[in-house]
Amino acid sequence: MQALASSGALNGVAVLRNEVSWLPPVAGWYKVNWAICLHSTSKAWHCGVLVWDHGGQVMAGYVKQLMAIPRGVAHEIGAIMQALTFAEQSVAEMWMEDIVILKQRCHRIEVLAVPTGANQAVVNLVGHPSFCTEEQFWLEDYPVEIQGFL
């Protein structure tokens, strides 16, 4: 994410706004974006995840119903756990050997809360009607339905 400052005037008072735009991760890093959505027809929470490389290309993604979480735990916490588990276990084993080497050297992660507008691709993904009935998973070759908002 990159914050861009812009200014304007509202009733003669100067206003400073921060606009957040999506940027790919730096080389050697991978970005995991996630979002959750309550589908009105099924009344079930779904989690969408996209894994991006430093070139801004989608490496993998999925949409599936959010796993059952203990009572009192926010749905967002369950989504974070599900997204990180997906990135760590499901995808990492399928990546090239150099990613495995990089994974061994990686000892930190960064979690940022961002406005919905800066995470629009995964918000559109999890809210897409085509994905609310069954689990979807892919590596590199993502569905035609989402190409327009990646």
- Render pLDDT for 48-82 as a digit per residue (tens, 0 to 9): 888 888 888 888 788 888 776 666 667 777 777 77
Model pLDDT, residue 109: 56
The per-residue pLDDT for 1 is 35
Backbone torsions φ then ψ of 14, nearest 5 degrees: -65, 135
Residue span of the structural domain in which 39 resides: 27-149
Place of tokens 């979480």: 69
- How many domains in the chain? 1
Q: Is the pLDDT confidence value at 35 over 70? A: yes
Q: What confidence category does residue 33 fall into, taking pLDDT thresholds of 50, 70 and 90?
A: confident
In a domain, residue 20? The reply is no
pLDDT at 27: 83
Q: Are 8 and 19 in contact (CB under 8 A)?
A: no
pLDDT value, residue 121:
76
Average pLDDT, the chain: 67
pLDDT at residue 99 greater than cutoff 60: no
pLDDT band for position 111 (50/70/90)?
Answer: low
Residue 138 lies in a domain: yes
DSSP structure class, residue 54: T
Name residues whose C-beta falls within 8 Å of residue 145's C-beta, 6 or more positions apart in sequence.
Answer: 128, 130
Q: How far apart are CA 29 and CA 142, in angstroms?
A: 21
- What is the average per-residue pLDDT within 11-23? 59
Is 2 inside a domain boundary?
A: no
Contact 65, 137 (CB under 8 A): no
Task: Please indicate whether residue 94 or residue 149 has the higher confidence score (pLDDT).
Answer: 149
Mapping DSSP to helix (H, G, I), strand (E, B) and coil, where does residue 90 land? helix
Token duo for residue 75: 């749905």
Is 106 within the bounds of a domain?
yes
- What token pair was written down for 97? 């050997």
Q: Is residue 109 part of a domain?
A: yes
92 vs 89, higher pLDDT: 89
Give CA torsion, residues 35, 78, 136, 123, to 10 deg.
-10
